[in-house]
Amino acid sequence: MKTVLLDAGNSAVKWRIVSPDGPWSDADPRGTIPIDGPHLAEEIRSACGSAGHSPSDAAGCCVAPQSVQDAIDRATIAALGRPVRWFSAAARFESRGISVRNGYRDPAQLGTDRWHALIGARTVRPQGTLLVVSAGTATTADTLTDDGRFVGGVIAPGIRLMHDSLVRGTARLPRADGAYRRHPDNTGDAMQTGIVDAQIGLIERRIRQIRADQAAASAPGRDADDPAIHVLLCGGNAELLYKAWADSQAWDPGTAVTRSVEPDLVLRGLRLRWTGEPRT
């Protein structure tokens, strides 16, 4: 039995067709559909029948408007005979050796995409302290401790929102795309570099906070099993941030911070929810 996984975000729907027990593979049929496109439902129906795989089920999470969720449901009913099994955040997740506990004051308030990205991140990095950075319409940075506790995270405007805010709020800054430069010498590059540096600064500050928490919690003379902080970047701007962070030389290998781009963490987490929790 195969299912189509759907991650309905603020600007696009990511989809992937998977089996419950097969490997997570680049060969899986997958794609991205803009949520504001005129043919959203048609493209969802087409995705459900992608490459003749004919999934029998659909599972997803949604932070898009209700109208988008309703359109997706109509499309999967037409294609599969049933609506999407929508998942939200929960107080705890345990399955297949993965354990994640939600430390939000109200666990249901946590964005479903952030929750599933944390679960997906743990499948990629089964041990260690994780900082899961989702760089999309918004940029979020969420901390998962070595023992599986989500202790909280931050939300900031993403790169495009920051750029749009600058253009709207100033009289003479242009609506022009720039590039990340060490020493920008034109306005477009200056805006892009300042925005990206702000995003990297957010990540580095969260790393310092994790380090302070680790130091305060550690017993004298006892080292953690895995003292590294693993930063996992996902979302549409993940590659841009990863490259700029490396180019900036703002990181210190002595601090034991690893960094990687991990696409589709939300969909990885969704597959575990789909296979790990029985239908009701």
Nearest to 233 by CA among 141, 100, 137, 101: 141
Which CA distances in Å does 22 have to 3, 25, 100, 123? 12, 8, 22, 14
Q: How far apart are CA 138 and CA 152, in angstroms?
A: 16
**Structure token digits, residue 64:** 């898009």
User: Which residues are within 8 A (CB) of 221 and not within 5 positions of it... i.e. 6 or more apart?
Assistant: none
CB neighbours of residue 242 within 10 Å: 18
CA distance 261 to 146: 20
| 104, 202, 129, 111 alpha-carbon torsion, rounded to 10° | 30
Gap between the Cα atoms of 225 and 29, Å rounded: 38
Residue 113 known to be catalytic: yes
Q: Per the residue annotation, which of 7, 28, 113, 142 is the catalytic one?
A: 113
Q: Cα(142)–Cα(150) distance, rounded to whole angstroms? A: 7
Catalytic residues: 113
